[in-house]
Chains A and B, each alone.
Chain A
């Protein structure tokens, strides 16, 4: 048995009773809760469809997290102190570091195991209640929403880091100043990669926060759990750790709150298309064979990180009346990609410009004039140059300066918030001259 194995074995033996108790208790809790409150939960969620099961899953996960924080995380070193075994770890060579590493690994494994077991318990509870279909829906929800979404993963990472922080503060660094520094380091570990991603992959940042409701809900639940846990567990074993924990938590929470606020603004900016923005850009368009209408997809300069355009692009579809320059909002981008706007507007449309990405390894966007099949030239994934290709095929926005000197699409200005503003989009003279089936000059 090597050192780490010895500590893992010790950790398991030390917590065997509580873990077995939880493993037995969670399914019973789920069964009783669903039997008594299943109908009510469905009504509270207000949606008899998938939302019910998402809601159930979130409630179940929070219950599991509460149990986890109360019984495992807050008591990691409390037990050592209470048993008087902390000195054993400190006086045996290398034991303290190994114990700490193993405790963190144990925390992670227990957290993930408990989440998994709780969700399995939820399914088992439905099966016991004679509702296999519900169990299946829970499984589907877990797979598609709870476990694989960015939000869930970030929350799980945050919980784990918080638990590490609890362990640090409650055992190793009882001084407030040091606890604060440790909290900040953990905060940096959590936020550092996100900030890196923000700078390098602009489209990913808002998507990280697209699960904002989930995050906020979980964060609120977690805060309440930690609040209670700190009073019960820390005050029981180490009063001195309590003040440090709270002081450092306050600072870290303020910083984290600021981060989430910035994230929230990011989401808003990403999904709200303001036609006055200079960065707005057309990703593709089709033009009616009568040249009366064009259907354009506009978005901001965010491209997907994973090339999953359908899922990650944020933009809108606008229908442009090429005779008057009037435009109207048609659909959100995702719907447009599924072809719905084309079905809504049963006119004959002809694509005029499209792009393709060479490969994920070589993210060059090739623009093609679809009327002539001529390559207009490549741009980088985040390039702002695609406008010029639109001009080449004859579709462009005309810009002018407003009274404050800001560059705006001409004609915008009235009720664009309702997406019914008009003007500003034109076919160029060249496009007007060229018939729909005639090749366009380059």
Chain B
């Protein structure tokens, strides 16, 4: 058990009505680690992220984010945790710069100039409403918004879902570029192994409501028996990913 882990979860059980989504889940994420949470649709990846943010109350078990219980002290946790949802959960009439202005008073560490810099760095149109932005631009704006307060922990909930390959690659590069500056602890939910292999230091596989496997990308990719991860041939994906990264 790692007491310094920014995210520490023990015996987590979360239910939706009578249906148990997470059951007896244990997970530690060491500081500065990017952990990709792999799992099929409905495996409970988003639920786990929401539990870390205090938006989902556990039936049993404990969740500690930066040593705090997010259900009891959501505001304190949320001030130090950046969250990027699977789709922009902002007002469609809002522009990215308006979103930044709206969020600013909620964070004591908010830096307006950093917000502008991040939007420029990620090449997000600042004055255009979200409804007029492409999905990729919208996700990059959300990523920028999550990173402005310099979070200690970053939760990414399927940030690449539904993006076409080119845009996905662009957003992924943006994520890696920004994360490279100052390494927060990242928990990234995805069902895309390629993304996990490229971005993560470690990969955890969520199946049956608990962490079925956890290890480095290589360790995960080497296990051919891991059917819960992805139906495709993991070695083939890994090889393609390595090839792409060598180029």
Which A residues have a C-beta under 8 Å from some C-beta of B? Answer: 1-3, 5-6, 9-10, 13-14, 83-88, 90-95
> How many angstroms from the CA of A2 to the CA of B55 in the assembled complex?
24
Q: Which of B75, B89, B102 contacts A10 (CB 8 A)?
A: B102
Residue contact B101 to A87, C-beta cutoff 8 Å? no
> How many angstroms from the CA of A239 to the CA of B99 in the assembled complex?
30
Interface stretch, picked from B79-87, B213-221, B228-236, is B79-87
**Residue numbers in A under 8 Å from B87 (CB-CB):** 84
Residue contact A3 to B53, C-beta cutoff 8 Å? no
Which B residues have a C-beta under 8 Å from some C-beta of A? Answer: 53, 55, 74-76, 78-79, 83, 85, 87, 89-94, 101-107
**Residue numbers in A under 8 Å from B93 (CB-CB):** 13-14
Q: A83-B92, A88-B89, A88-B90 are in contact. Are A3 and B101 (CB under 8 A)?
A: no
- What is the distance, in angstroms, from B74's C-beta to the closest C-beta of chain A? 7
Residue contact A10 to B91, C-beta cutoff 8 Å? yes
Residue contact B78 to A92, C-beta cutoff 8 Å? yes
Closest residue on chain B to residue A16 by CB atoms? B93
**Residue numbers in A under 8 Å from B85 (CB-CB):** 87
Q: What DSSP secondary structure best describes chain A's contact surface? A: helix
Residue contact B106 to A91, C-beta cutoff 8 Å? no
Residue contact B91 to A6, C-beta cutoff 8 Å? no
Q: Which of A2, A85, A91 contacts B91 (CB 8 A)?
A: A85
The 7 closest A-B pairs by CB, nearest first: A93-B78, A3-B105, A93-B75, A88-B89, A93-B79, A87-B89, A92-B106
> How many angstroms from the CA of A5 to the CA of B101 in the assembled complex?
11
Q: A91-B83, A94-B106 are in contact. Are A85 and B89 (CB under 8 A)?
A: yes
Residue contact B106 to A3, C-beta cutoff 8 Å? yes
Excluding A10-B102, A14-B91, A95-B106, 15 further A-B contacts by CB distance (< 8 Å) are: A3-B105, A9-B102, A13-B91, A14-B93, A84-B89, A86-B89, A87-B85, A90-B55, A91-B53, A91-B89, A92-B103, A93-B74, A93-B75, A93-B76, A93-B106
> How many angstroms from the CA of A90 to the CA of B89 in the assembled complex?
11
Residue contact B104 to A1, C-beta cutoff 8 Å? yes
- 22 A-B residue contacts at CB 8 Å? A1-B101, A2-B105, A6-B101, A6-B104, A6-B105, A6-B106, A9-B102, A14-B91, A14-B93, A84-B87, A84-B89, A85-B89, A85-B90, A86-B89, A87-B85, A87-B89, A88-B89, A91-B53, A92-B103, A94-B75, A94-B106, A95-B106
> How many angstroms from the CA of A84 to the CA of B76 in the assembled complex?
23
Q: A6-B101, A10-B102 are in contact. Are A93 and B107 (CB under 8 A)?
A: yes
**Residue numbers in B under 8 Å from A9 (CB-CB):** 102
Q: Which of B55, B75, B90, B102 contacts A6 (CB 8 A)?
A: B102
> How many angstroms from the CA of A9 to the CA of B103 in the assembled complex?
12
> How many angstroms from the CA of A86 to the CA of B55 in the assembled complex?
11
- What is the distance, in angstroms, from B192's C-beta to the closest C-beta of chain A? 22
> How many angstroms from the CA of A86 to the CA of B101 in the assembled complex?
18
Residue contact A83 to B91, C-beta cutoff 8 Å? yes
Residue contact A91 to B102, C-beta cutoff 8 Å? no
> How many angstroms from the CA of A434 to the CA of B172 in the assembled complex?
109
Closest residue on chain B to residue A2 by CB atoms? B105
**Residue numbers in B under 8 Å from A94 (CB-CB):** 75, 106
> How many angstroms from the CA of A92 to the CA of B146 in the assembled complex?
10
> How many angstroms from the CA of A84 to the CA of B74 in the assembled complex?
20
- What is the distance, in angstroms, from B80's C-beta to the closest C-beta of chain A? 9
- What is the distance, in angstroms, from A99's C-beta to the closest C-beta of chain B? 11
**Residue numbers in A under 8 Å from B104 (CB-CB):** 1, 6
Closest residue on chain B to residue A5 by CB atoms? B105
**Residue numbers in B under 8 Å from A6 (CB-CB):** 101-102, 104-106
Closest residue on chain B to residue A95 by CB atoms? B106
Closest residue on chain A to residue B78 by CB atoms? A93
- What is the distance, in angstroms, from A243's C-beta to the closest C-beta of chain B? 15
> How many angstroms from the CA of A85 to the CA of B55 in the assembled complex?
14
Q: Which of B55, B74, B94 contacts A87 (CB 8 A)?
A: B55
Closest residue on chain B to residue A89 by CB atoms? B89
**Residue numbers in B under 8 Å from A93 (CB-CB):** 74-76, 78-79, 106-107
Q: A13-B93, A83-B92 are in contact. Are A91 and B78 (CB under 8 A)?
A: yes
Closest residue on chain A to residue B49 by CB atoms? A91
**Residue numbers in A under 8 Å from B90 (CB-CB):** 85, 88
- What is the distance, in angstroms, from B84's C-beta to the closest C-beta of chain A? 10
Closest residue on chain A to residue B99 by CB atoms? A88
> How many angstroms from the CA of A13 to the CA of B95 in the assembled complex?
12
**Residue numbers in A under 8 Å from B92 (CB-CB):** 83
Q: A10-B91, A84-B87 are in contact. Are A91 and B103 (CB under 8 A)?
A: no
Closest residue on chain B to residue A17 by CB atoms? B93
- What is the distance, in angstroms, from B107's C-beta to the closest C-beta of chain A? 7
> How many angstroms from the CA of A3 to the CA of B78 in the assembled complex?
16
Residue contact B105 to A1, C-beta cutoff 8 Å? yes
- What is the distance, in angstroms, from A20's C-beta to the closest C-beta of chain B? 14
- What is the distance, in angstroms, from A71's C-beta to the closest C-beta of chain B? 17
Closest residue on chain A to residue B85 by CB atoms? A87
**Residue numbers in B under 8 Å from A88 (CB-CB):** 89-90
- What is the distance, in angstroms, from A333's C-beta to the closest C-beta of chain B? 58
